Structure 1
Amino acid sequence: MDPQEHKAPAGAAVSAMDFGVKGPRGWAFHGVGFEAEPGSLIAVRGPSGSGRTCLLLALTGRMKPSEGRAEVGTHRLPKEMSAVRRISALAHVPGVTDLDPALTVGEHLRERALLEARFGDSVRALLRPRAEKAATAKQRIATALATAGLDLETLPKGSRTAVRDLERLEALRLSVALAVIGRPRLLAVDDTDLKLSAAERTAAWDLLRSLTEAGTTVIAVCSEAPEGAVVVSTAPGTPAGSERPAEEVAPRPSTPGTTPDEPSEDGADDDKETADALAETGRA
């Protein structure tokens, strides 16, 4: 087994300047700028429809920006989108990383491990004996579950528990586990604290902090940023740096006629904004 297999990935520094994505309905987000060190916890705040999900997709190389620039590790956006995709992963993003409610937890994990072995490993790794590859996949799954804090023994049917039967926090942990199988340097998590109780929110942030402590840089959409995070706001006209000790940088206001729609209770505007921007950039 590769001796690098168990080592934590080195997190990627992330920065942006005048960063924005424009879709058919106008700016998804506009004028975002911030800097974060490797292993940082970055919290993205803003009302529904303000482009929070689009920012995650743009910073992970899944959506082409319309203005400005960003850097993830040594890679620049938009010029090196494919390189950024290789070192980043998404978790819990509606419409992008949705879990299949009919599949079991074990089926999701085995599928992701197989995909990682097929497309993420070196040619040398692909030539390993079948038994060795199976052992590697099993170890990857076990490591990912431990990293995400998902104990299969606590689930109703263990690994055979269907996704539809998971609690919301359990589904978040599964999505994170699937993402970290690929050992990303940057992990982007959407709707981190949506519909979670106070105790569950604390557990979710504890999970993401543990990832940063192990070396991974994490950027997460939230309604309320945790203490110590680098806070980035997508709300047009939001005053910067007035609500927390760490630096918060807000985008400049959208240009006339391009202000996002009013926020909705259930996040539907975010989904629409994301779909429109993806269509505009040719990545739908």
Structure 2
Amino acid sequence: MDSPQGAAVTAEDFGLEGPRGWAFRSVTVEAEPGSLIAVVGPSGSGRTSLLLALTGRMRPTEGSAEVAGLPLPRKMAAVRRISALGPVQGVSELDPALTVGEHLRERALLQRRFDASLRALLRPRAERVTEARRRVHEALEAAGLDPATLPKRERTSVRDLERLEALRLSVALALIGRPRLLAVDDADLKLADADRAEAWRLLRSVAESGTTVLAVCSDAPEGATVVVSTGAVTDRPEDEGPGDNDTGTGTGTGTETDHADAETTVENTTEEGTADALAETGRA
């Protein structure tokens, strides 16, 4: 596929305070275009909130950050346009009731409708359909997912996918838009050692192709630019829901607890935000 120019990501004293306290605070990041950035730390310390803030989906409350030279929060809409979300719980999850083919077709349709230039929209329909199919094929190839190998090919339901296959599908959906920054939450969650290694090979390959990758994880792979949580974490059982406090104060690490604050601060009040929200449902 066409190699996008990756986005440089920088942040200094970056923080986000929500209704329940600080989601993350005092984050410093410096990563070149095409980097693999690993956000590590214990659950509940703001990892997902940091991921959403650096992709323009949540509004930070202190410090400074830039993505591809675009300052946050002033250029949040522009950052959303050049970034894409892989799997993020409660934000861009796959729909288990849909098939692989339905996800791909919906995402291609959203891409054509909301992200295409005026010139592209004026092209003959046959050319637009051909271009959409090419993008889907290239994205699947980059994500290492061949629908022909699935039990029911493209008619395989998401609920029947293995965890690694679901990750590959989510990454493929995001890559259809040819983003400069790809963000993936819980990249190594519930993966056996062999599958975890495959997941990191996938994300490293995406980074090497030119797209900067920002991945939340429990353990950073070798060679990644690491952002580590250094703050306190709420003491809660792992299976508690997102309604619990998220008071981490480190360099951004968290999973379920991040989404309670995300619901009140995700930027979606403009027309661009609405279109982005539709395009980031994960059902494409």
- TM-score norm. by structure 1 comes to 0.87
Shift of 1:7: 1.9
Judged with a 3 Å threshold, the aligned counterparts in structure 2 of structure 1 residues 280 and 153 are, in CA distance, closer, same or farther, namely closer
Does residue 104 (structure 1) correspond to residue 99 (structure 2)? The answer is: yes
2:257 corresponds in structure 1 to: 272
**Structure 1 stretches of at least 4 aligned residues deviating more than 4 Å after TM superposition:** 266-269, 280-284
Residue segments in structure 1 that go unaligned for 5+ positions in a row: 1-5, 237-258
Query: Counterparts in 2 of 1:157-176, with a 5 A limit?
Result: 157-176=152-171
1:137 aligns to 2:149 (yes or no) = no
Aligned residue in 1 for 2:273? none
Question: Deviation of residue 282 (structure 1)?
Answer: 6.1
Please report the RMSD computed on the Cα atoms of aligned residues, expressed in angstroms: 1.5
Residue 108 of structure 1 and its aligned partner are, at CA, apart by: 0.3
Contact 2:143 2:172 (8 Å CA) reproduced = yes
The question of whether the paired residues in 2 share the 8 Å contact of 1:22 and 1:277 is answered with: no
Q: Distance in 2 between matches of 1:276 and 1:42?
A: 23
CA distance in structure 2 between the aligned counterparts of 1:193 and 1:267, rounded to whole angstroms: 20
Asked if 1 retains the 8 angstrom alpha-carbon contact of 2:39 and 2:216, the reply is: yes
| Percent of matched pairs sharing the same residue | 65
User: Equivalent residue for 1:18?
Assistant: 13
Stretches of structure 2 that go unaligned for 5 or more consecutive residues are 243-254, 270-284
| 175, 180, 205: which one aligns with 1:185 | 180
- For 1:8-157, what aligned pairs fall within 5 Å after superposition? 8-157=3-152
State how far apart, in whole Å, the 2-side matches of 1:150 and 1:267 are.
33
2:8 maps to amino acid: A
Q: Which letter maps to 2:238?
A: E
Taking the TM superposition and a 5 Å limit, the aligned residue runs for 1:204-219 are 204-219=199-214
* 1:203 corresponding residue in structure 2: 198
Alignment length (residue pairs): 257
Given that residues 47 and 258 in structure 2 are in contact (C-alpha distance below 8 angstroms), is that contact kept between their aligned partners in structure 1? Answer: no
Determine the C-alpha separation between the residues in 1 that align with 2:38 and 2:73: 22
Q: Deviations over 1:62-118 (max 9, x none)?
A: 000011010001100011000100000111100011111111000000100111111
- Do 1:28 and 1:260's aligned partners in 2 also have CA atoms closer than 8 Å? no
Q: Distance in 2 between matches of 1:121 and 1:134?
A: 12
Counterparts of 1:95 and 1:262, CA distance in 2: 22
**Any idea what the Cα deviations from partners look like across 1:180-202, whole Å, max 9, x if unmatched?**
00000000000100000000000
Alignment-derived partner of residue 278 in structure 2: none
Aligned to 1:262: 235
User: Cα 1:176–1:281, aligned 2, differ >3 Å: closer, same or farther?
Assistant: closer
Task: Determine the C-alpha separation between the residues in 2 that align with 1:277 and 1:65.
Answer: 11
Structure 1 residues 66 and 278: alpha-carbon distance in aligned structure 2, compared to 1, 3 A threshold:
farther
The secondary structure found in structure 2 opposite 1:271 is: coil
Instruction: Tell me if the contact between 2:56 and 2:267 (Cα under 8 Å) persists in the aligned partners.
Output: no
Query: TM-score if structure 2 supplies the norm length?
Result: 0.87
Partner of 2:257, secondary structure, is helix
CA–CA distance in 2 between the matches of 1:120 and 1:84? Answer: 14
